[in-house]
């Protein structure tokens, strides 16, 4: 046998990672006292425990303390007690603690990696080379944010006590994503790891002891749904941060409605992996391996939908099958292993069930001819071809090593297929033509887009989704905002609307009767129900009647807003000019609007004129910011740049207050328009004629049809319709507390972003009721990763 023959005959030998240190750590711990509360190790108050097992063998690893509601109370009390001193500490003091955590993790990173692999089942190469280094990176990166907080986030402070719930697929990394920015912001933490994977969180708590984290600043409690629900519902917690399934995210959104708690949700995904015909196919195949078979496909942003251009489909599929046949399935502690076990038998059964259902619906499911280990929760990598867009494998998050394949003919069809999902977490675009890639990326409804790459992450770059993939961002500057609060200038408590439905005394004078209609799609239209609402002057006389909008009118308005492509596609400079023109034309009718304010609200002529002038000034402000509130370019420690693009949320519903009825309406509509959103506005229920008087100003100010739609009527009723409408992407509600809470609870259909005043109005005349705080609510931040170099 010559050397070449020997080379081809070679096979991989076992290369196991030593686990003796991890086993010694396991043997030395009393996991019956695994709750880390107020700097001390405690047993669950009820004495309950749950088991965690090794996915590669099913063998018991430990019995872990199972926290009850009483334990959550104790953890929140500890975090509350520690909050004043921690939040008052200097940024430098907090930075030193975060840096100490990161350095201590570095000293124990091999133990972290082995424990993670034993507990989760992911290959040691991934734990060692990706998860643990990235977790360390987050703490050291956020040490910098802690010290720069006052300079970079003026007027902001930590939101308070934070409840955090993390999943089992990236136990240590998700912990770092949550805890690092919270501590940097001056918050204290109560974190619940997943039941399947508690071990690295326990080791992390030991690190906190060694690194000098003050008692009560970090509390880690283990448990199941009871513990999670206790965190979500606890009145002592000011923010909830959750990573997990969309179904549970919706439950949390509903549970926190009306509570005033800040909420960020990083949920499921069904990410598209788009390969154009000019792509480097060999590179695309390697990217695909990383995109879908990384961590056995148990990744929320896994590239589980392969969209390939028809002309190269056969060639690419052949290469994918060849590469799949060489993937090594086996012990996750073997350094040669590509695919380890799924986390638990329940997850294995779920993946098998979805593959079987996908095949029943017409998919052809192919697997390489490979043997599985005799024990453990293993599933072979699976390629599904002939998948229709409606197939369960194309629509549902499998969360396993299963790739669904579809073809497309041109760029437009690729974008349409990619966006044909209720999710919107991530996407990959493969093309040697960077012009094409950067043309496609902004059109994908996803919070992260990788160009010629996949699964790239960094602490400096935000991560998070659109649609039912949740809201909020983790990492980067935008991730810090999730743990900070700006003090908005609160106005009076908003009372439940009591506008009388009875006839109002007829006004004096012989003016010709004028019927104020709705404003939809650039036209004044009658309400669908042909009912009207009487509007009274401050003296109780009839000022006029407006249309009583209904569900059908909201539906028409949303349809018009969705179809108004000219506005979001316009340049920021074009939007700026239109808003300036709108301000110019409103200025020309200052006397008219001031007189209307006096007539309806009874304010003095001076106060009325001031409100009109402030409204004009507010339009001017957002006109000027339309082309200045821009994204950033991040430079992560990789051969890539990340473009943090500001994109409009989409269709934004606005329910405006009675307080300062003109200024309040303008202050909400203007920032939404400036960022390229289209608007469906419900104006003040009590003073709607100020909004209907705007119709003509809008009509001759070059505002494209459908960019602004105004539906008058009952605020409470119309707020609910907007909340339930799945084609509304964002909802801003300034109404009574009950209406705000109901809007949040009813928004779960598509997990729209809801900004609620929680029953309070704002002082709309104050400088704090304008500017960046409003613009941030009007945008999504999309991070586009663009690699460079050979």
Residues tagged active-site: 266, 300
Cα-trace Rg, the chain: 28
Tokens of 85: 């001193």
SS3 340: coil
Query: Residues 262, 239: contact at Cβ < 8 Å?
Result: yes
Pick from 512, 549, 122, 522: which is nearest to 337 by CA? 122
User: Distance between CA 244 and CA 196 in Å, rounded?
Assistant: 13
Query: What region does 754 belong to: left with phi over 0, alpha with psi -120 to 50, or beta?
Result: beta
The residue among 666, 657, 572, 577 whose CA lies nearest residue 617 is 666
CA trace torsion 401, 406, 411, 413 (10° rounding): -120
Which residue, chain included where needed, has tokens 């209904």? Answer: 550
What phi and psi values does residue 460 have, to the nearest 5 degrees? -85, -10
Residue 336 CA to residue 452 CA, distance in Å, equals 25
Strands 262-266 and 470-471 turn out to be: antiparallel
Torsion of CA 102, 106, 107, 112, to 10 degrees: 100
Burial zone of 708 (CB within 10 Å; 0-12 exposed, 13-18 middle, 19+ buried)? buried
Report CA 4 to chain centroid distance, whole Å: 53
* Separation of alpha carbons 314 and 200, rounded Å: 43
Q: Are strands 305-309 and 272-275 parallel, antiparallel or unpaired?
A: parallel
The C-alpha atoms of residue 750 and residue 120 are separated, in whole angstroms, by: 31
Q: Within its chain, how far is the Cα of 671 from the centroid? A: 20
What's the Cα-to-Cα distance from 786 to each of 271, 282, 288, 435, 741, rounded to whole Å? Answer: 18, 18, 17, 12, 41
3-state secondary structure of 133: helix
CB 221 within 8 A of CB 260: no
Alpha carbons 460 and 453: distance in angstroms, whole number: 18
E strand or H helix that includes residue 207: helix 199-211
Residue 739: which H helix or E strand, with range? helix 737-745
Beta bridge partners of 190: 163, 219
Asked whether the beta carbons of 714 and 721 are under 8 A apart, the reply is no
453 token code pair = 């790459």
Say how far apart CA 354 and CA 363 lie, in whole Å.
Answer: 11
Strands 779-787 and 448-451: parallel
Q: Can you give the length of the chain in residues? A: 790
Which of 599, 721, 597 has its CA nearest to residue 665? 597
Phi, psi of 641 (to 5 degrees): -115, 150
Contact 287, 429 (CB under 8 A): no
E strand or H helix at 730: strand 730-733
Report how far residue 305's alpha carbon sits from residue 283's, in angstroms, rounded to the nearest whole number: 17
What SS3 class is residue 181?
helix
Strand partners, 550: none
CA distance 662 to 536: 16
């Amino acid at each position: 046998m010559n050397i070449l023959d020997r080379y081809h005959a070679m096979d991989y030998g076992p290369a196991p990672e030593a686990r003796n240190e991890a086993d010694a750590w396991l043997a030395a711990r009393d996991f019956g006292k695994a709750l880390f509360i107020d700097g001390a190790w405690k047993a669950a108050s009820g004495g309950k425990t749950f088991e965690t097992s090794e996915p590669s063998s099913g063998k018991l690893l430990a019995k872990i303390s199972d926290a009850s509601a009483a334990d959550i109370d104790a953890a929140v009390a500890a975090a509350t007690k520690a909050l004043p001193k921690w939040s008052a500490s200097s940024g430098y003091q907090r930075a030193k603690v975060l840096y100490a955590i990161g350095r201590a993790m570095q000293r124990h990173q091999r133990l972290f990696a082995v424990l993670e692999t034993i507990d989760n089942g992911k290959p040691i190469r991934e734990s060692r080379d990706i998860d643990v280094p990235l977790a360390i990176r987050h703490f050291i990166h956020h040490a910098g944010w802690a010290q720069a907080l006052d300079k970079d986030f003026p007027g902001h402070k930590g939101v308070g006590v934070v409840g955090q719930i993390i999943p089992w697929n990236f136990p240590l990394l998700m912990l770092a994503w949550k805890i690092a920015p919270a501590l940097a912001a001056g918050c204290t933490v109560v974190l619940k790891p997943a039941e399947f994977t508690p071990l690295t969180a326990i080791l992390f708590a030991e690190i906190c002891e060694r690194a000098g984290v003050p008692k009560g600043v970090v509390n880690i409690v283990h448990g199941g749904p009871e513990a999670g629900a206790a965190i979500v519902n606890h009145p002592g917690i000011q923010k909830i941060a959750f990573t997990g399934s969309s179904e549970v995210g919706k439950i949390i959104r509903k549970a926190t409605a009306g509570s005033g708690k800040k909420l960020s949700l990083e949920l499921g995904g069904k990410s598209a992996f788009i390969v154009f015909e000019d792509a480097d196919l060999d590179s695309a195949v390697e990217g695909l391996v990383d995109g879908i078979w990384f961590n056995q496909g148990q990744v929320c942003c896994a590239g589980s939908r392969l969209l390939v251009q028809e002309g190269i489909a056969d060639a690419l599929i052949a290469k994918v099958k060849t590469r799949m046949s060489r993937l090594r399935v086996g012990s996750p502690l073997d350094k040669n292993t590509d695919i380890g076990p799924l986390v638990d038998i329940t997850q294995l059964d779920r993946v098998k069930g979805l593959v079987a259902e996908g095949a029943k619906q017409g998919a052809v499911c192919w697997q390489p001819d490979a043997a599985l280990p005799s024990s453990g929760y293993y599933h072979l990598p699976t390629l599904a071809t002939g998948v229709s867009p409606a197939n369960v494998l194309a629509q549902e998050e499998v969360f396993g090593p299963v790739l669904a394949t579809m073809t497309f003919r041109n760029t437009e069809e690729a974008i349409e297929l990619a966006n044909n999902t209720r999710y919107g977490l991530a996407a990959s675009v493969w093309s040697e033509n960077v012009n094409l890639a950067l043309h496609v990326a902004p059109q994908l409804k996803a919070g992260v887009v990788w160009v010629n790459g996949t699964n790239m992450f960094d602490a400096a770059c935000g991560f998070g989704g659109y649609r039912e993939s949740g809201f909020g961002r983790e990492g980067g500057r935008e991730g810090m905002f999730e743990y900070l609060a700006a003090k908005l200038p609160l106005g009076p408590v908003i009372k439940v609307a009591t506008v009388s439905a009875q006839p109002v005394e007829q006004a004096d004078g012989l003016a010709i009767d004028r019927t104020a209609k709705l404003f939809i799609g650039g036209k004044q239209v009658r309400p669908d129900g042909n009912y009207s609402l009487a509007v009274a002057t401050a003296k109780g006389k009839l000022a006029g009647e407006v249309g009583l909008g209904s569900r059908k009118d909201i539906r028409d308005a949303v349809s018009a807003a969705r179809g108004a492509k000219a506005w979001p596609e316009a340049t920021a400079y074009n939007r700026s000019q239109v808003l300036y023109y709108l301000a110019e034309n409103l200025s020309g009718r200052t006397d008219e609007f001031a007189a209307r304010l006096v007539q309806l609200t009874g304010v003095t002529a001076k106060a009325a004129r001031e409100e009109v002038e402030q409204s004009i000034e507010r339009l001017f402000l957002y006109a000027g910011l339309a082309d200045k509130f821009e994204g950033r370019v991040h430079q992560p420690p990789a051969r890539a740049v990340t473009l943090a693009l500001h994109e409009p949320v989409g269709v934004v519903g606005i329910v405006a207050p009675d307080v300062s009825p003109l200024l309040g309406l303008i202050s909400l509509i203007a920032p939404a328009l400036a960022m390229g959103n289209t608007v469906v506005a419900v104006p003040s229920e009590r003073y709607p004629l100020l909004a209907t008087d705007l119709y003509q100003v809008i009509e001759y100010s070059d505002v494209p049809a459908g960019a602004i739609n105004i539906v008058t009527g009952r605020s409470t009723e119309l707020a609910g319709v907007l909340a339930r409408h799945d084609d509304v992407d964002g909802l801003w509600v300034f109404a009574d507390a009950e209406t705000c809470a109901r809007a949040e609870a009813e928004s779960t259909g598509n997990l729209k972003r809801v900004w609620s005043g929680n029953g309070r109005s704002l002082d709309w005349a104050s400088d704090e009721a304008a500017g960046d705080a409003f613009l941030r609510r009007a945008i999504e931040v999309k991070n586009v990763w663009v690699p460079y170099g050979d």
